[in-house]
Structure 1
Amino acid sequence: MGNWAEITDEISKIYQDNQYKIRQINDVDAVSDKRREALQALFEHTGRNVIVYYSAWLENGRRFSGQSTDFSVNDTDKNSFMTALHKLDQSKGLDLILHTPGGDVAATESLVDYIHALFGQDFRVIVPQLAMSAGTMIALSSKEIVMGKHSSLGPIDPQFNGLPAHGLLEEFEQAKKEVSENPQTAHIWQVILNKYNPTMLGEAKKAIQWSNSMVKQWLEKGMFLDEPDKEEKATRAIKELADHSVTLAHNRHISVSKALELGLNIKELESDPKLQDLVLTLHHLSVIAAQRGPLIKFVVNHDNRGTFLQGHEN
């Protein structure tokens, strides 16, 4: 039942049959019941623990613009993961279904460290649609990334004061070069350079070094652990994913074919039709939940244990 139209038709039929009343997402309704069924079926299919981390930024980002940071990876997510991971059989490993715009690097590092502490490298990330920025970092910390033809990762160049750190440094270096070659252009660059100060530039450099070294270490100890040239492979992947001069835009979408070209350990979702059906069913149900309620994000496991964050109208 992974098709969007089939899922919405079934949900509508349930409502029409008056088996449920329309309630908020954290109540027992048709959508949450179907999600619970799909999560349990996925657990039975893979034999692995399953957690869904779903952000509704695409559906409700504008609606709750005052809570924009809540849609992103942040330190409050740790409590949600603690709830969802509590009492799970760690010997079964973990599959994380991830849909996120990214977020805070420090929170991402802490979350990955927590997952590794519980499951070691027996950790897989499934991307039903988008795992951008810090979401890509989380994916790169796993042993394998499952992607469909419709799935995308994104560049991991860190954001600094809302700007790509690489882009900030490139702009400063370009200004310095042009003014050095032609001092008459100084007044043109004056307005731009006034935005920056030495502290800001230094912090941007540190942010780049931090995220690059962190992800490189994850790749070498995880996805590329058994590769004889793991250091070279990790360095190449970081170059392609973290260098703003290569990726060109922070929101650039990296397809499954490009991820394979980078040498990442990718499993194509279409190679397992049952897995594909269950993952897409979960994804579409999550989208429907976001469209029908004030959802910001949720983290829930195959036992239906987790947390739901809802927005408040301004």
Structure 2
Amino acid sequence: MSRDKRKQIIQDIEKKRDSKVITYITSDRANLQVMISHDVVSIIHDHILMLKEEARAKLDLFIYSRGGASDVPWTLVSMFREYCHEGSFSVLIPYRAHSAATVISLGADEILMTKKAELGPIDATMTTGPYNPTEGDTRNRLPVSVEDVTGYFSLLDRFGCERADEKMKGFEQLTNKVHPLALGAVSRLLEETKLVGLRLLNTRAKPFSEEENHEIIRKLSSEVYSHSHTINRTEAIKYLGLKQVRNAEDATLENDLWSLYLEYRDMFQLENPFNPEEHLVANNLEENTWDNLNLACIESADRLDVCRKSIRVKRLRQVPPTINLNLTNIQFPVINLPNLQPNMNPQQIQALVQQMANATMQQILNTAVQNAINELMKSLPQIGFEHVSLNSGWVKEA
């Protein structure tokens, strides 16, 4: 997790590339994933502004992400284009650059990929929304993906539903499960993503032909039938037609890109699933707080911004309408009266004993009640866990 080590690798890449590098990482740690979002644009802009004007001529974006908001790629790439010289914006991909990260890459003049690097399809998924279907009797909203919707209609075609009335009946059956407005939102999101992808391909200094651009977007948005399918650099060049893809080792950057990724992997604990419930059970805890969990970062040689949050998780118990606390096992200590005066009368002795007993008994009762409550809560049936996020946001660290 060494800032100095990451900074050194970034500077080594800049020296080999004769460029300035900005990194953008979003966590895909199991149960602690975050996505590309609008709040990063202004922070990356601050990193660019920290560079001297002549140093902004050639900019590289080192990215690791599983995707995110569909309208961020256009804003982000357009901003880079405003500062760097024509043909001088590149994306460096050590490993995963899926979905929205793939769309960002489409706008690069050059895409440098390691042997392990992955792009992904750009089909749209509505993860949440007021019209998304719910899971059973719960209020949990289920995602609606383009690939599932189009797969359903492809299935109808395969079974011979070719007439308009047959397809309409199939659509009616679908809307019984998924709200029509959710289907409309997914369709609109896909069209927006395809349009952004086409526009980004046209921003390149040496754009492909319109026919080639449309073919690239068609394959990325509809010909890859699984959102989890990964596209390596060979497939990106030969199948998609992304001729701006370049092998990292050809630029002697294979080791640098991978080493920098490994630093971020350790910083975000990407291969260590976040399982707070298991921790509570294994350690017989009712609740625990995890502070300053890393969610995302933006880094350059001169600055580091990190997005973090804390999470408090506690068990939820089924509380009965009436509770009886058993306090029969209270151990009463011997009360020692200090410094009795020889001339004290019985009333004074009684008052002193009363004072000492009250103080001692109150402490004993407080402890006994708290212990009884703790034991009672542990004995109640568990009905789930409560997660509360605390202090989330971006912090400038260096």
> Structures share a fold, TM > 0.5?
yes
Q: CA deviation at 1:104?
A: 0.5
Deviations 1:279-302 (A, max 9, x none): 111111111111298211101112
Query: Does residue 266 of structure 2 align to residue 268 of structure 1?
Result: no
Aligned to 1:106: 71
The letter for the 1-side match of 2:256 is L
Q: Report which of the two structures shows the higher radius of gyration computed on alpha carbons.
A: 2
Deviations 1:42-99 (A, max 9, x none): 2122110101111221xx341x3xxx4xx21111111321222123235431111110
The letter for the 2-side match of 1:56 is S
- Structure 1 residues 52, 307: closer, same or farther in 2, change over 3 A? same
| Alpha-carbon distance in 1 for matches of 2:82, 2:169 | 53
- Matched pairs, number: 269
Aligned residue for 1:294, secondary structure, equals strand
Q: CA deviation at 1:166?
A: 4.2
Q: CA deviation at 1:170?
A: 4.0
Query: Does residue 273 of structure 2 align to residue 298 of structure 1?
Result: no
- Structure 1 residues 112, 188: closer, same or farther in 2, change over 3 A? closer
Q: Gapped runs of 5+ residues in structure 2?
A: 128-142, 273-291, 313-398
- Structure 1 residues 202, 190: closer, same or farther in 2, change over 3 A? closer
The letter for the 2-side match of 1:237 is I
Q: Report if the CA contact (8 A) 2:21-2:60 is conserved.
A: yes
Query: Does residue 149 of structure 2 align to residue 168 of structure 1?
Result: yes
Q: Report if the CA contact (8 A) 2:156-2:170 is conserved.
A: no
Aligned residue for 1:101, secondary structure, equals coil
Alignment root-mean-square deviation, CA: 2.8
Aligned to 1:77: 40
| Alpha-carbon distance in 2 for matches of 1:189, 1:263 | 35
| Alpha-carbon distance in 2 for matches of 1:35, 1:172 | 48
Q: CA deviation at 1:112?
A: 2.1
| Alpha-carbon distance in 2 for matches of 1:151, 1:312 | 31
TM-score, length-normalised on structure 1?
Answer: 0.76
The letter for the 2-side match of 1:122 is S
Aligned residue for 1:149, secondary structure, equals coil
Q: CA deviation at 1:121?
A: 4.2
Query: Does residue 120 of structure 2 align to residue 154 of structure 1?
Result: yes
Q: Report if the CA contact (8 A) 1:128-1:279 is conserved.
A: yes
Aligned to 2:259: 281
Q: CA deviation at 1:143?
A: 0.6
Equivalent residues in 2 for 1:175-190, closer than 5 Å: none
Further displaced range: 198-207 or 77-86? 198-207
| Alpha-carbon distance in 2 for matches of 1:192, 1:204 | 14
| Alpha-carbon distance in 2 for matches of 1:224, 1:203 | 34
- Structure 1 residues 263, 219: closer, same or farther in 2, change over 3 A? same
Q: Gapped runs of 5+ residues in structure 1?
A: 1-24, 26-30
Show structure 1 runs of 4+ deviating over 3 A. 172-181, 186-193
Equivalent residues in 2 for 1:202-213, closer than 5 Å: 202-213=184-195
Could you tell me the percent identity over the aligned residues? 21
| Alpha-carbon distance in 1 for matches of 2:211, 2:205 | 13
2:215 to 203, 219, 236: 236
| Alpha-carbon distance in 2 for matches of 1:97, 1:283 | 9
| Alpha-carbon distance in 2 for matches of 1:287, 1:175 | 44
More helix by share: 1
Aligned to 2:311: 313
Q: Report if the CA contact (8 A) 2:62-2:93 is conserved.
A: yes
Q: Report if the CA contact (8 A) 2:147-2:225 is conserved.
A: no
Equivalent residues in 2 for 1:8-19, closer than 5 Å: none
